[in-house]
Amino acid sequence: MKKLSLILGCLLLFAGFAQAAEKPLIRLGARVFTEQTLLAEITAQYLRDKGYDAQVTGGLGSNLARSAHETGQLDLLWEYTGVSLVAYNHVTEKLDSAQSYARVKELDAKKGLVWLAPSKFSNTYALALPEKIAKEYPQINSISQLNTVLQAEADENHLVALDTEFANRSDGLAGMVEQYGMNLTRKNIRQMDAGLVYTALRNSQVFAGLVYTTDGRLNAFKLKLLEDDKHYFPDYTAAPVVRQAFLDAHPQLAAQLKSLAELFDDETMRQLNARVDVDHESPSAVAADFLRQHSLLSTQ
């Protein structure tokens, strides 16, 4: 009897190992900011429910993540069209959303990377006003209108906060100043960490500041986004990008991720980001709640 029990136990153990081995391993990467952490966590939980062994490597720098993706150390990344277009493929011409997606899909395919169906959100740059300034200057609804006020009230020395990276990139501050004919100098520019830009805006310490269009703090701090009326900022539509080799082995992944990607739009991402950055919820809890709300888990 003991021998029979031992045999049955071994059979169950081996069956468990066999079942685990049948799960395809998919390695996801995430860059070092909240939105990337959330997208990777939501995707990992979703794919585990679909029968994948999804593993996430987070906190990656942009170049490291891309290198790992191209060399096959990562299978899946949520990527932004503008990042691939400008940073990785060195395309500088201005393209709209559809053109950007088509171009990066074509260029990255040559590197063994497949852009799957995109989301409905673009996490691009924008200039925003603090709530107090927005009430004092209701006529400012666009960057051109902001520029008009800055020039008319140059003596007021209105401060504009920018993160250090944007302020020092040729396709950042310099290009924006040129396209809009802005007279921004060291006197009225304040360079700081991106997070401090939001703090300065919330506290009305600056007249305007550079933000990201899906940041959760936009709503929480009641900031007013300005229209990029001369279309300076690139499109940064997000989409899951998978290695061709992995997709060839698991072609069903394209349809599975399409169902997920189409749930994300600008407002949805702001709300999800805010739950982590403002309400201090854990990304894993926010991810699980999001999937349950959309009935995407088999065990609700």
User: Which pLDDT does position 21 carry in this prediction?
Assistant: 55
| Locus of tokens 């959309």 | 294
How much is the average pLDDT of 282-295? Answer: 97
Query: In the chain, what are the domain boundaries?
Result: 9-122+237-293, 125-225
Give the Cα separation of 72 and 243 in Å (integer).
Answer: 7
Averaged pLDDT score across all residues of the chain: 91
pLDDT at 189 over 90: yes
Q: Note the CATH number of domain 125-225.
A: 3.40.190.120
| 125-225 and 9-122+237-293 share a CATH fold | yes
Distance CA 98, CA 216 (A): 26
Report d(CA 189, CA 264) in Å as an integer.
34
56-103: pLDDT as tens digits = 999 998 889 999 999 999 999 999 999 999 889 999 888 999 999 999
pLDDT of residue 169: 73
DSSP per position, 44-56: HHHHHHTT-EEEE
| Half-sphere exposure of residue 227: CA atoms within 13 angstroms, side-chain side | 8
At residue 212, the pLDDT reads: 93
**Which position has the token pair 């501050």?**
173
Return the pLDDT at 298. 84
- In words, the CATH class of domain 9-122+237-293 is alpha beta
Out of 13-17, 135-139, 197-201, which region has the weakest mean confidence (pLDDT)?
Answer: 13-17
273 dihedral zone (left: phi>0; alpha: psi -120 to 50; beta): alpha
Q: What is the pLDDT of residue 3?
A: 54
